Structure 1
Amino acid sequence: MNPDEIARLRTEATTGQGGAPAGIEVLHSWALSHVERLTFPDGNTAVFKTAREPFTHEDEALTAARQAGMSVPRVLASVLGTTTLGMLIEDLGEPAREPTDADGAAMAVHLHSVAVPDLLPPGDTAWLASLPARALRTLDVLREHGRWPGAADIAEMLEAIDKAAPARAEGAMARPFGWVHSEFHPTSLLVRADGRVFTYDLARAFCGPGLLDLVSWQGTTTPADPDRARAFLERYVEEGGPTQTLADRGGLCAQEWALGWHRVWIVEWYLAQAAQWIADPTTDPAYERAVRAHTREAAELLHV
């Protein structure tokens, strides 16, 4: 992100916070977002986050989540530029320990049970079934511009998934359906010394199938693990999640349905990054490898 834009938004967001920051610690930075811990002259700290589209409504999502009773950091101030959000939020401090599967399951139950505000984008059955076609259109754009020339196999797999999508998407609106965090990993939870568990990173939150969150928990850096996913779904139900979580949908067991659609969702998002949001041809090899691997997993899990 542009350092001058970050500095300008930081200045605007911290006006009225007791003076300019005395210290700035960069916590995270990539092409679409930048996160800092700010220390003010009085010793108080806050987290400052800047984000480019499509992440420019996280302040609204966090505010709505807090109003709904979720354990999320307070938004202290926010400013919106032409295409960039600057947001000052409560500093939750350093974690007391790593979150466990029990923490994740309990937080997911809480997340999926609170009221959903109108501001969250909808993700219903039709939306889910549209993902492979949307991914194909984006892949076509990349190839029309001379990028991803060796991606014919990806296109073939996406075409097969697209043909099966209407049947496989059935059950998308079965419980749990509501808030979807979209980045629901152990790194998006923080356990404080008093035992309270918070979540954050709601920049891509939407209203949709909660199972996408549940299978996000195991991440994507290793191959999909249906047995591990099933164990987490069962833990979620034990923590108070709806029993319908474990029901078959789209002709598949819950864990394969969820993992398969999660991979399709990731593929569509990665292609959008490559073509629009980041649009850096030098990153094409890495994106193509990831998209190919996840598309292959999706085809296998969805049995197409």
Structure 2
Amino acid sequence: MTTSEVIRIWELSGVERLHLTTDTSVIFKFAVKPFTTEAETLIKLAGHGIPVVAVQAWAIRDHTLGLLTEDLGVPVRTATEEDAASMAALLHATPILGHLDTFDEEALTSLPERGLAALAALQRQGRFLNAWDINRALQRLAPCAKVLAAGAERPPFGLCHGELHPTSIHVGTNGTRLLDLAKAFNGPGLLDLATWFGTRAPAQPQHLNRLIHAYIHAGGHPGAASRRGGLPADRWALGWHRIWAAHWFLTHAAAGHHSRGTDDAHHTIIRRQLIAAVTLLTSSQSTG
């Protein structure tokens, strides 16, 4: 008999552990757009020798992904910055995957304008009607986005995890594996390193600078610490990661992937991300 154990359920996806016998289990994930590319990404990464969780079966039905992977069990410890640096160095050396979005210099430049377009679409739906703060931040960023995006394609540029958090690296008895690649994209590896710290706490460029140098030491591209868009690499990455994240919430809400019930919470998240981006990318401190 199969029994299930819910690990976590989100609005657009969920994870369960399926107990097939007394000593055998697998992980079942389900997801709707925009998270339906993970199985293909995992399979292609495994083919390139990247240590990822193994896919056992998958299918897409009615625009919903169902994915079975091996159950890696309980981690022996929490992943560290050194683990993140090593795994990112491996991942970013992987050839670009054609089924994923690419965020090159042109695409980054367009993010504030695309965010404004998504906000306008939401407001036509009667949503985000009081988002003057989001609008103002995007209007501040849009005119200088091209200058700020300069250097986006400077190495490291390649496959990025998209959510390189401590929970996305499983350190187990049989080695270290990457998990949760549903938001993977092609783009600047520095954005990936910036995701390690999340966006809830105030940005700490010195912490990312430390991770960048650990990444270089672990075999990452030696140019990772070089300036981009006239900014230090750490501030550039932290700022653009926040713009990318804000754009993600806005465009997917406008496309109907997030319900109206999430608008207030997402408004708070997007405002925090964009205010931080403005400070990181355009304040006098950024060019010091």
TM-score tier (shorter): over 0.9
Pairing 1:114–2:86 present: no
**How far off its partner does 1:118 sit?**
2.6
1:253 aligns with 2:237: no
* CA drift at 1:61: 0.4
Q: What secondary structure, in the 3-state scheme, does the structure 1 residue paired with 2:282 have?
A: coil
Partner of 2:255: helix, strand, or coil? helix
Aligned pair partner of 2:128 in 119, 141, 148:
148
Mapped contact 2:33–2:257 kept (Cα < 8 A)? no
Aligned partner of 1:302 in structure 2 is: 281
Matches within 5 A, 1:1-304: 22-41=2-21, 43-194=23-174, 196-303=175-282
Q: Which runs of 5+ in 1 are unaligned?
A: 1-20
Q: What is the letter of the counterpart of residue 211 of structure 2?
A: F
Q: TM-score by structure 2 length? A: 0.94
Could you list the per-position Cα deviations for residues 173-194 of structure 1 after superposition, in whole angstroms to 9, with x for gaps in the alignment? Answer: 1111111100111010110124
- After superposition, give the CA deviation of every residue in 1:216-273 in whole Å (9 maximum; x if it has no partner): 1011121111111111111111111112100001110100100010000010011124
RMSD: 1.4
> Quick one: distance in 2 between partners of 1:30 and 1:118?
27
Q: Can you give the 5+ residue segments of structure 2 that lack an aligned partner in the other structure? A: 284-288
Tell me how far apart the structure 1 counterparts of residues 73 and 177 of structure 2 sit (CA, whole Å).
11
Residue 277 of structure 1: how far off its partner (Å): 4.1
Paired amino acid for 2:83: D
In structure 2, give the amino acid aligned to 1:252: L
The AA in structure 1 aligned to 2:200 is: T
Structure 2: how far apart are the matches of 1:112 and 1:134? 26
Partners of 1:134 and 1:73 in 2: how far apart? 34
Q: Which stretch has the larger CA shift, 291-300 or 274-283?
A: 274-283
Structure 2 letter corresponding to 1:72: V
Contact 2:18 2:27 in 1 (8 A): yes
Residue identity opposite 2:148 in structure 1: R
Q: Distance in 2 between matches of 1:256 and 1:33?
A: 32
| C-alpha displacement of 1:128 | 1.0
Contact 2:39 2:55 in 1 (8 A): yes
Per-residue CA distance 1:73-131 (angstroms, 9 max, x = gap): 11111111121011111111110011111111111111111233332322211111111
Identity of aligned residues (%): 40
One-letter code of the match for 2:274? T
Residue 267 of structure 2: SS of its match in structure 1? helix
Which residue type is aligned with residue 131 of structure 2? Answer: A
Separation of aligned partners in 1, 2:133 and 2:56: 48
- Structure 1 counterpart of 2:262, one-letter code: T
Q: Check the 8 A contact 1:69/1:114 in 2, yes or no.
A: no
Q: Deviations over 1:42-92 (max 9, x none)?
A: 631110111001111211000001001111111111111121011111111
The number of residues matched between the two structures is 283
- Counterpart amino acid of residue 132 in structure 1: P
Residue identity in the other structure for 1:289: T
Checking the alignment, whether the CA contact within 8 Å between 1:212 and 1:258 is kept in structure 2 is yes
Task: Please give the secondary structure, in 2, of the residue aligned with 1:172.
Answer: coil
